[in-house]
Structure 1
Amino acid sequence: MSVFFCKNIRRTITLLSASTRVNSRALSLSLCCGALKTPVRAVHSSAMPDHKGGGEPSLFTPPLEVRGMTCLDREAFSRTVTVPALRAQKEVVGTLVKSLKKVMLQLPGVKRVMEDDDKHRLLLLDPTRVSSPNSFSETESQALEKLGVPLDFQSHELQLTYENLKADEILRAVLPEGQDVTSGFSRVGHVAHLNLREHQLPYKNLIGQVIMDKNPGVTCVVNKTNTIDSTFRTFQMEVLAGDGNMVVKVRENGLPYEFDFSRVYWNPRLSTEHERVVDLLHPGDTVLDVFAGVGPFAIPAAKRGCNVLANDLNPESHRWLMHNCRLNKVEHRLRVFNMDGRAFIRGPLREALPALMKATAGVHIVMNLPALAIEFLDAFRDLLGHESDQKQSISTLPQVYCYGFSKKEDPCKDVVDRASASLGILLDGHCSVHMVRNVAPNKEMMCISFPLLKEVLFSRCSETDALEEPAPKRQKCEEPE
């Protein structure tokens, strides 16, 4: 079939497809490749769109019979396809692969160069990009001519299996057409953590198995089954695939951590924020970490040469925090507590603060519990009693980094207003606000930073007239921070 004839067929089909909504690319490919000895089998016209609702279809769509599968049958994904190939002398193959890299076949587990005979090799081409000699760019055509490769297309038959498909291609083929497909997840060590939607739940075990199959090193896949408990910042989870081992090993900003992911809080999306705050510290500073978790602020601060008092209410977090101190060889720089955050502020932090404020080194108070931390700020009111009781002048004011969620249209103003109300002073002009990340639509995680002013720390009345300590507040956290 001549190139001219191919062009006319392609033009005709394009006009037809505008009114009939036929996949013109698939049809033109199968017709224009009539010059091949064996026709190229094009992408099926009903190929699933990607999970965002558009985009190019998969190069080779899995068989339609897999739609609705809930128990993974890997054999059902096998199929035979035929692709175009160029025959070239083996001496020029290396150069030819570089010249044609944009149009060569790219499928997981499939070799792009196949042996033909002792002197020749077959270069497999992507049929969605190459349908005739006219498909090559000018640069590619010149390279073929220079290397003496004839534009005589051959067809090559491939046996494709489950192993040649990507996770999102498999899930698009299996889940109901038109529904959102998830192949995204948070990875914590060997555990992949999903947040499945209701329509995906009938396929949850298949999804878990596919995620594990397609991601080397993942040996357990879990799905979150409820909101975070704001007391210990943990959530219930269901094992979808794998061995169920929840004790993970991770590295964040170059440091190792170990913990039971099912019993403590850990968010891999906060590594940049941990690094940002730690970069503000200097050797010899003191860090008071009110909600320390397993140590993502406390451990790197100690590694930086800071002295750290780290607290967490969750007994499991406390245990793994001590373990991670030993793991990173910083136990000599940390004192670890297992207390309610308000009790820690009114106890160990209060005891340490007067001496720290009379020294010249920096003092930093970290409060990373976005669902509740701002409500704990009132614990600093009149914390140090009457200023006249201090025997020496104050050299350093503590710097606070307090995290909070906001759903307001102006999240910066929201956290400033709430923090001001909790402290009992106006923070405008005395604070800065940093947007950490978007947690959910219309929900931001913010960090407000400010010095603890004397007006907050010291009372104007005698210590016996100080305000009574408020009872701790509890609430549910809708999203992981």
Structure 2
Amino acid sequence: MGVQGKEGDVGGQSQTDMSIFRPPVVRTGTAALNRALFTRRVDLAAAAVQDHKLISQYRRTLQSSRELLHVDRISPIRPHPDQALAGQGRKCFLLNPSVKAEAPETWGPVLRAGVQKQELTVIPYELQLDYDYWNYRDIMVSVLPEELHDDIPTGFNIAGHVAHLNLREHYLPYKHLVAEVLLDKNPQIKTVINKVDNVGSESEFRTFQYEVLAGPDDLNVEVAEGGCVFQFDYSKVYWNSRLETEHRRLINIFQPGEVVCDVMAGIGPFAVPAGKKHVFVWANDKNPESFKYLSAAIKKNKVGAFVRPFCEDGRTFIRQAADSVLEASQKGEHAVVTHRVKSPPQQPTPAAQEGPAGAPARPTVREERIPIPPTISHFVMNLPASAIEFLSSYRGLYAGREALFAPHTPGRLLPLVHVHCFALKADGDDDRAPREDICARITAALGFAVRPGDDPDVEGCAVIHDVRDVAPAKSMYCATFRLPREVAFAARD
């Protein structure tokens, strides 16, 4: 629970005084949750307002003088504790806990002046707090042993109505309690699950075994991201809401009319919003369930003219996509986008000069034909546990097709490759170690020397973007580099 004010002095009283707003310690020796034990009575003073027209004035002055109660999630304006007066609309202000109704020497200058003017009356007030008032962390501090307070489980992945925990071993005895409180304090969550294995190491498709800690065993969810809606069974495909910023970052790089090859597309968090942006996407995932939900998302979000789903092994798909895009371009395949354009208002005839200035504009429909270009502009490889191992498949990607690119075709560059990966964090502030490690692994897989740099258009330079922390000593990164000519035009195996 947050209590606002300066450090060591909150609303004119010490932090010690504010302990009255903390939940009671409820450690029963079991992992059961008894909500009734969280009821607490707080004895305060209140300033009853004689005239409701003065409420705004006194709220401002009492707050400025720090005589007003200032605690998170507690409104300082309350109905008068006398029910008869409350029925007449009378209000009162809850006051700083240092103010005592029976001790005028504790009253501040604004309160004293208001009493002298007979505009305020100081009365005792009994404030009732219960389980619903305190937040998730408050409850956890109250029920968990003190040795577990340092890393209370607060981070979890949300997919629709499902909260996905990954509890550490020492919290497992309290797993159902944690889940129950999460449900209480997050109305949008209906089901809480806990992962019981490691994603990426025990499942080829990054799915996981789970146990239901609270709520129904219903993992059919609906998620909105990037202006698109996705519906899927969370137990059968990979989804991570914490990657939304990374999805948006790359989508913002893609330009309308370009072709993106999403090698490990999942259910389409890159592909479908990019299609909304009029980017052509060849979207692939080896998991048949991901392919099913990807296809459904393409249809639901009406991006079928731009996004094509595939279900292939990523290594095979990389080369197939380059050939398929070229073939589609040579066939003249394209998308048609409809624009509604307002026509200029009709001008009145001379005989009607005294009438309206012009008739309402009538929208007209204009169709834009967007051709599929012959080459891929971006490859996205969002499989951080192993994506670097797929880089050898780029050798010979455009073998014998040098004429498609600069200098033969001015302005057309080889694709940018965005490969996600994990790496250990460096000790201290020096971030060179993980970047050099990533580039060494890319070099080994690609068969071409790659080094950390700031410009992916410089051949052999990779820009390493820090995506997010996944463990205390481990981070997820995205390495972006321009596919080297030596690799792209090498002979195919």
TM-score range, shorter chain: 0.7 to 0.9
Please give the secondary structure, in 2, of the residue aligned with 1:43. Answer: helix
Distance of 1:60 and 1:213 partners within structure 2: 18
Distance of 2:307 and 2:238 partners within structure 1: 20
Gaps of 5+ in 2: 1-7, 331-371, 427-432, 452-457
- 1:247 is matched with 220
- 2:123 is matched with 154
Distance of 2:113 and 2:294 partners within structure 1: 60
Q: Tell me the CA shift for residue 182 of structure 1.
A: 2.5
Pick aligned residue for 1:419 from 410, 434, 442: 442
Q: Tell me the CA shift for residue 146 of structure 1.
A: 10
Structure ranking higher in helix proportion: 1
- 2:48 is matched with 87
Q: 1:356 to 1:449 in 2, by over 3 A?
A: farther
Q: Tell me the CA shift for residue 135 of structure 1.
A: 7.3
Pick aligned residue for 2:282 from 304, 309, 318: 309
Question: Do the aligned partners of 1:107 and 1:164 also contact (CA within 8 Å) in 2?
Answer: no
Distance of 1:444 and 1:356 partners within structure 2: 39
Deviates more, 1:287-296 or 1:437-446: 437-446
* 1:61 lines up with 2:23 in the alignment: yes
- 1:382 is matched with 396
Q: 1:83 to 1:197 in 2, by over 3 A?
A: farther
Question: Do the aligned partners of 1:284 and 1:361 also contact (CA within 8 Å) in 2?
Answer: no
Please give the secondary structure, in 1, of the residue aligned with 2:47. Answer: strand
Computed over aligned residues only, the root mean square deviation of the Cα atoms, in angstroms, reads: 3.4
Write the deviation string for residues 60-80 of structure 1: whole angstroms up to 9, x where unpaired: 322x44443412222222233
Q: 1:167 is matched by which residue type in structure 2?
A: Y
Q: Tell me the CA shift for residue 96 of structure 1.
A: 2.7
Distance of 1:137 and 1:437 partners within structure 2: 50
The count of residues paired between Structure 1 and Structure 2 equals 409
Please give the secondary structure, in 1, of the residue aligned with 2:478. Answer: strand
- 1:122 is matched with 92
Question: Do the aligned partners of 2:22 and 2:138 also contact (CA within 8 Å) in 1?
Answer: no
Distance of 1:391 and 1:76 partners within structure 2: 72
Write the deviation string for residues 429-473 of structure 1: whole angstroms up to 9, x where unpaired: 43322221222222221111112222102225xx5xx3xxxxxxx
Q: Tell me the CA shift for residue 108 of structure 1.
A: 4.9
Write the deviation string for residues 340-389 of structure 1: whole angstroms up to 9, x where unpaired: 21121243444435887995776211111111111110111123445689
Q: Percent identity?
A: 38
| Greater RCO (CA < 8 Å, at least 6 residues apart) | 1
Distance of 2:138 and 2:160 partners within structure 1: 25
Pick aligned residue for 1:221 from 185, 192, 209: 192
User: What TM-score, normalized by structure 2, do the two folds share?
Assistant: 0.74
- 1:77 is matched with 38
Q: 1:146 to 1:413 in 2, by over 3 A?
A: farther
Distance of 2:113 and 2:302 partners within structure 1: 58
Q: 1:83 to 1:258 in 2, by over 3 A?
A: same
- 2:364 is matched with none
User: What TM-score, normalized by structure 1, do the two folds share?
Assistant: 0.75
Q: 1:443 is matched by which residue type in structure 2?
A: K
Question: Do the aligned partners of 2:405 and 2:413 also contact (CA within 8 Å) in 1?
Answer: no
Q: 1:422 to 1:100 in 2, by over 3 A?
A: farther
Question: Do the aligned partners of 2:259 and 2:373 also contact (CA within 8 Å) in 1?
Answer: no
Please give the secondary structure, in 2, of the residue aligned with 1:282. Answer: coil
Please give the secondary structure, in 1, of the residue aligned with 2:189. Answer: coil
Distance of 2:326 and 2:374 partners within structure 1: 13
Q: 1:355 to 1:73 in 2, by over 3 A?
A: same
Distance of 2:288 and 2:307 partners within structure 1: 17
- 1:405 is matched with 422
Distance of 2:376 and 2:137 partners within structure 1: 49
Deviates more, 1:84-93 or 1:370-379: 84-93
